[in-house]
Amino acid sequence: MIQELDIDPEVIKLCQEKEKELVDIFQDIDKKEYENTLKVLSAFHKNQISEVHFNSTTGYGYNDIGRDTIEKVFADILGSEDALVRSQFISGTHALTVALFAYLRPNDRMLSISGTPYDTLHEVIGIKKNPSSLSSFGVTYDQIDLVNDDFDYDKIKTYLQEHKVKLIEIQRSKGYSTRKSIGIDQIQKVVQEIRKVDQEVIIMIDNCYCEFVETITPIEVGCDVMVGSLIKNLGGGIAPNGAYIAGKKELIELAGERLTCPGEGKEVGPTLGINKQILQGIFFAPSVVAASLKTAVLTSKVLEDLGYEVEPKYQDNRVDIVQNIIFHNKEGLIKYCQGIQMASPIDSNAIPYPWDMPGYTDQVIMAAGCFTMGSSIELSCDGPLRSPYIAYQQGGLTYSYGKLGVMKAITELLRSKNEN
Ligand SMILES: *Cc1c(COP(=O)(O)O)cnc(C)c1O
């Protein structure tokens, strides 16, 4: 049957061998999955989830018990006072946008302390000109870059002493950059340093790809608000769309008023039949994140041993589900992504090519043969067509499938190399 996937037997042998060296790392991943499952289960029990919460509303969406309870469940799991979990968020970028526009007013100042934010936020902030950006409303933006993959603590403190900053944004996952992702220990330290000089500034976390990788959340180390997508980690591959914002009660209220309208806020928003999927998604999420992590670790190990540059390395501590392979050439990136697509359960016959995606500066290639379009908690691999040609691989609903996908991608990669 493996012949039908057309995976090189040598690649299968190699992966099975390398896998044996990963037992301890996989055990550690299992331990975290267990702890996060415990968190989820406790939240379900505390909120007495029952079939009634699977019901949903249409129209305005008044008194949607399922929706309101789901938001309590998310808040309990993430350790926050409140949460907004909505399918009306069309993406993670949209939730981040709603949050930024909810908290920032004309003449306010926003500061990123993790360098340049994710590509799709450039037009939101006004780093790239757009007539609807925060900048067009008179919001000032500044950024402080990371130094050796850590915060520039002194520069941040000096900046806060010299300027009144309304909101600090920290993006944990690397996005399409070459830096390392930011761990919860680093977040904890920088929050402590910030609070020494400024007790009021809103600390907002772009937590995309980081949920359930560790067992502590940014809120639990003192951040005010965090944002993420439901077609990434917390949707467990089951949520059909949506995103969340979790944090302080008054900040969630402001976000609700911006998402819908002032005066209605969180009280409205029909769920149109997805409550059960959201609950089932968060229930499965710890296990799906664990499968994704194992897939990433295997990828890192095998490709490093084949002589490719990878980040993180297989034994590194992980803070998100993203695995980078640095190809240093266009061909490798494209062939690898095409291999991931060929092994996908959906659209395996499609061949991805680089294209001009809205919101991104360079052309991007994206392999995502997913049940949910664009979902990147399902095995997916993408990257901008710019030097050093890095593949950003993430997801894997099950480890067995993740492994097969990676073996197929490596097969395609090695074949193209032998042809040249
Ligand atoms: C995925 C992601 C986002 C949001 O992307 P969407 O595709 O709009 O959901 C934002 N920041 C980071 C770091 C991400 O990985």
pLDDT tens for 3-43 read 778 999 999 999 999 999 999 999 999 999 999 999 999 99
Tell me: pLDDT of 336 over 90: yes
Task: Assess whether 106 and 235 both reside in one domain.
Answer: yes
Ligand 1 center from residue 325 Cα (angstroms): 19
Task: Assess whether 10 and 87 both reside in one domain.
Answer: no
Give the span between the Cα atoms of 9 and 386, in whole angstroms: 32
Q: Residue 135: CB within 6 Å of ligand 1?
A: no
Q: Which residue in 4, 5, 43 sits closest to 234, CA to CA?
A: 43
Residue 91: what are its φ and ψ, rounded to 5°?
A: -170, 175
- Report the number of distinct structural domains present in the chain: 2
| Mean predicted confidence (pLDDT) in 400-407 | 97
Strand, coil or helix: 350: coil
Task: Assess whether 157 and 91 both reside in one domain.
Answer: yes
Ligand 1 center from residue 148 Cα (angstroms): 23
Q: Residue 114: CB within 6 Å of ligand 1?
A: no
Taking only the tens place, the pLDDT of each residue in 37-70 is 999 999 999 999 999 999 999 999 999 999 999 9
Atom of ligand 1 nearest to the CA of 92: 9
**What is the extent of the structural domain holding 100?**
59-272
Where is the domain boundary, 220, 241, 272?
A: 272
Residue ranges of E strands in 272-412: 309-311, 323-326, 364-367, 380-384, 390-394
Task: Assess whether 310 and 163 both reside in one domain.
Answer: no
Q: Which residue in 49, 47, 68 sits closest to 57, CA to CA?
A: 68
In a domain, residue 124? The reply is yes
Ligand 1 center from residue 91 Cα (angstroms): 8
The residue whose CA has the least distance to atom 1 of ligand 1 is 208
CATH number, domain containing residue 362: 3.90.1150.60
In a domain, residue 147? The reply is yes
- Helices assigned H by DSSP within 260-327: 275-305
Where does the pLDDT of residue 215 fall: very low under 50, low under 70, confident under 90, or very high at 90 and above?
A: very high
Give the position of tokens 């695995």.
323
Q: Which helix (H) or strand (E) holds 193?
A: helix 184-197
Q: What residues contact residue 39 under an 8 Å CB cut-off, 6+ apart?
A: 76, 77, 215, 286
Q: Residue 175: CB within 6 Å of ligand 1?
A: yes
Task: Assess whether 193 and 232 both reside in one domain.
Answer: yes
Angle at 385 between CA 308 and CA 324, to 5 degrees: 35
Give the span between the Cα atoms of 169 and 330, in whole angstroms: 32
Taking only the tens place, the pLDDT of each residue in 255-290 is 999 999 999 999 999 999 999 999 999 999 999 999
CATH number, domain containing residue 218: 3.40.640.10
Q: What residues contact residue 53 under an 8 Å CB cut-off, 6+ apart?
A: 65, 66, 69, 70, 275, 279
Task: Assess whether 294 and 411 both reside in one domain.
Answer: yes
Give the span between the Cα atoms of 12 and 296, in whole angstroms: 16
In a domain, residue 42? The reply is no
Ligand 1 center from residue 1 Cα (angstroms): 36
Give the span between the Cα atoms of 372 and 378, in whole angstroms: 8
Q: Which helix (H) or strand (E) holds 41?
A: helix 23-46
Q: What is the pTM of this model?
A: 0.97
Task: Assess whether 300 and 390 both reside in one domain.
Answer: yes
- C-beta separation of 392 from 232 below 8 A: no
Cα–Cα separations (whole angstroms), residue 347 to 41, 232, 338, 352? 34, 19, 11, 10
- C-beta separation of 271 from 89 below 8 A: no
For residue 26, what pLDDT is reported? 98
The residue whose CA has the least distance to atom 9 of ligand 1 is 92
For residue 417, what pLDDT is reported? 83
| Mean predicted confidence (pLDDT) in 174-184 | 93
- C-beta separation of 123 from 94 below 8 A: no
Where is the domain boundary, 215, 246, 272?
A: 272
Pairing of strands 140-143, 109-112: parallel
In a domain, residue 44? The reply is no
In a domain, residue 277? The reply is no
Q: Residue 120: CB within 6 Å of ligand 1?
A: yes
In a domain, residue 48? The reply is no
In a domain, residue 259? The reply is yes
Task: Assess whether 257 and 326 both reside in one domain.
Answer: no
Cα–Cα separations (whole angstroms), residue 252 to 1, 96, 99, 265, 297? 51, 12, 9, 9, 36
Task: Assess whether 254 and 297 both reside in one domain.
Answer: no
Q: What is the residue type of 267?
A: E
Task: Assess whether 189 and 242 both reside in one domain.
Answer: yes
> C-alpha 222: how far from its chain's center?
20
Q: Residue 91: CB within 6 Å of ligand 1?
A: yes
Where does the pLDDT of residue 420 fall: very low under 50, low under 70, confident under 90, or very high at 90 and above?
A: low
Ligand 1 center from residue 99 Cα (angstroms): 14
- C-beta separation of 369 from 347 below 8 A: yes
For residue 233, what pLDDT is reported? 98
- C-beta separation of 397 from 300 below 8 A: no
In a domain, residue 129? The reply is yes
Task: Assess whether 287 and 268 both reside in one domain.
Answer: no
| Average pLDDT of the chain to the nearest whole number | 96
Task: Assess whether 303 and 380 both reside in one domain.
Answer: yes
Q: Residue 177: CB within 6 Å of ligand 1?
A: no
Ligand 1 center from residue 93 Cα (angstroms): 6
Where is the domain boundary, 272, 298, 324?
A: 272
- pLDDT above 70: percentage of residues in the chain: 99
> C-alpha 45: how far from its chain's center?
27
> C-alpha 321: how far from its chain's center?
8
For residue 217, what pLDDT is reported? 98
